[in-house]
Homo-oligomer: A and B are copies of this chain.
Amino acid sequence: MNPILAMIDLKALIEARDFNTLREQAKNWSAGDLAELMEPLPVEQEAIVFRLLPRDQAADVFSYLSDERQDELLKAMAREDVAAILNAMDPDDRTSLLEEMPATVVQHLLSMLSVEERRVASQLLGYEEDSVGRLMTTDFVRVRPHWKISHALEHIRRYGKDSETMSMIYVIDDENRLVDDLRIRQLLLAKPDELISDLMDSRYVSLKATDNREAAVDLMKKADLPALPVTDTRDILIGIVTVDDVFDVAEEEATEDIQKMGGSEALDEPYMKIAISKMVQKRATWLIILFISEMLTATAMGRFENEIAKAVVLSIFVPLVISSGGNSGSQASTLIIRAMALGEVGLTDWWRVMRREFLSGLSLGGILGVIGFFRIILWHYLFNAYGEHWLLIALTVGIALIGIVLWGSLSGSMLPFFLRRVGLDPATSSAPFVATLVDVSGLIIYFTVAAVILKGTLL
């Protein structure tokens, strides 16, 4: 092999963005050759070649580099231009070419970078936007099973300075695989000449770096620990997430849910800081979707134009009747979405929820129906407001309300199940969406009830 030629090849392949060929070619070279070949490349190209290597080969090449070159390489991986090139890859290519990085590299990379650099570099690790990998830190305390407590405490005293938390100590085996977690209290309460292995029960919980960060929230709630260990796919301990980071995640998730339930996309930025144009864009999408769906009400109303012409009084109660359906629907969907987010309600509970909402909707509809009925009768006696067929109108409104509120509760509670079943976020704009859905169907219920009750009199 001619190194000069190979170098030209590498450069040319990177500039042509022909990453598939580059990766294929790299397979033919030894780790030592590769380390040598990469040396003369500009540092941002070196980082790209390195990132494209298969996992095991990357680990080998990395160990061939001097300490300074390791640092240089990792620093380069936090550069925006390097990130930009790799991010511009076709998603399919990304998945097939960018394997998980070796644990040694991950730890090294994360520990030497600032928070800001880490944000850029973490994309390169191949962890998704909302993954545990993006959340973790690598400053933690590791001990070995055969150590004495006194040695472990001395180790902590010496190397623990930068550790994010000392509440939890992690036990790893010879291959750096996680084998147990210990609370610092266990070490403090133990006798100095006991062994770490005497304290171990090999029961621990852990996260994978590729897990969704919501998994961290769930596990943290269940485990009641100040920190959780994160491993790669080979169980090698590569980081921890601390409770305060998870706390922030839980809060962001709640904010996103609330904003989506309020009928806009999640803003992802504080209200006072986001540019107005960006905010309008995020809000407009759903307003337009809702507006276009709501156009069905005009179609529905159009169908009943003759009835309205004959009995204008019916149109007077349209906003009252349909908004009641919307309100009961929003209520039901909000309760279910939150219960789902808290894990109180799962997909398989739909039938039990439906039964509960049937009873609730019927009761609530009954209450509003009775109030509406007497409101019309009262106005008749006070103002003689609704002509000679006032009693039939009162009956129409009352019965329609029962049907509409029941329908609102049922569809409001079932929509989140449906959204989740088809793989969407149940919070997505569901309250206003339910309101729109129930507006249209509410009109149909209302005018159908009217047609039955008022036939031969007003209609």
Contact = CB atoms under 8 A, between A and B. Distances in A.
Contacts of A122: none
Contact of A360 (B166, B221, B276, B385): B276
B166 A165 contact: no
A112 interface: no
A256 to B, nearest CB: 10
B320 A318 contact: no
Interface stretch (A41-49, A232-240, A243-251): A243-251
A280 B363 contact: yes
Contacts of A297: 319-320, 323
Nearest to A300: B319
Interface in A332-376: 333-339, 342, 344-345, 349, 352-353, 356, 359-360, 363-364, 367-368, 371-372, 375
A86 B423 CA distance: 53
B291 A368 contact: yes
A225 to B, nearest CB: 8
A8 B258 CA distance: 60
A352 B272 contact: yes
Nearest to A280: B363
A324 interface: yes
A441 B102 CA distance: 62
Contacts of A167: 165-167, 184, 226
A263 interface: yes
B371 A291 contact: yes
Contacts of A183: 166
A298 B327 contact: no
Contact of A264 (B221, B271, B334, B352): B334
Contacts of A259: 334-335, 338
A308 interface: yes
A243 B247 contact: yes
Interface in A278-333: 279-280, 283-284, 286-288, 290-292, 294-295, 297-298, 301-302, 305, 308-309, 312-313, 315-320, 322-324, 326-328, 330-331, 333
Given A188-B156, A318-B301, A352-B272, A368 B262 contact: no
Interface stretch (A103-111, A129-137, A428-436, A448-456): A428-436
B316 A318 contact: no
A364 B290 CA distance: 13
Contact of A359 (B224, B243, B276, B359): B276
How many of chain A's residues touch chain B, expressed as a range?
35 or more
A89 interface: no
A402 to B, nearest CB: 13
The quantity of this chain's copies bound in the complex is 2
A200 B326 CA distance: 59
Contacts of A263: 327, 330-331, 334
Contacts of A389: none
A324 B137 CA distance: 46
A21 interface: no
Contacts of A292: 371
A349 B184 CA distance: 45
A185 interface: yes
Which 6 pairs, one residue from A and one from B, show the smallest C-beta to C-beta distance? Answer: A262-B334, A297-B319, A271-B339, A254-B254, A301-B316, A315-B315
Contacts of A345: 271-272
Given A291-B368, A312-B305, A371-B291, A319 B261 contact: no
Contact of A320 (B294, B305, B353): B294
A375 B295 contact: yes
A288 B367 contact: yes
Contacts of A203: none
A233 to B, nearest CB: 29
Nearest to A281: B363
A443 interface: yes
A326 B291 CA distance: 11
Given A264-B334, A298-B317, A290 B161 contact: no
Given A166-B183, A295-B320, A360-B276, A367 B287 contact: yes
A337 B258 CA distance: 9
A267 interface: yes
Contacts of A319: 294, 297-298, 301, 318-319, 322, 439, 443
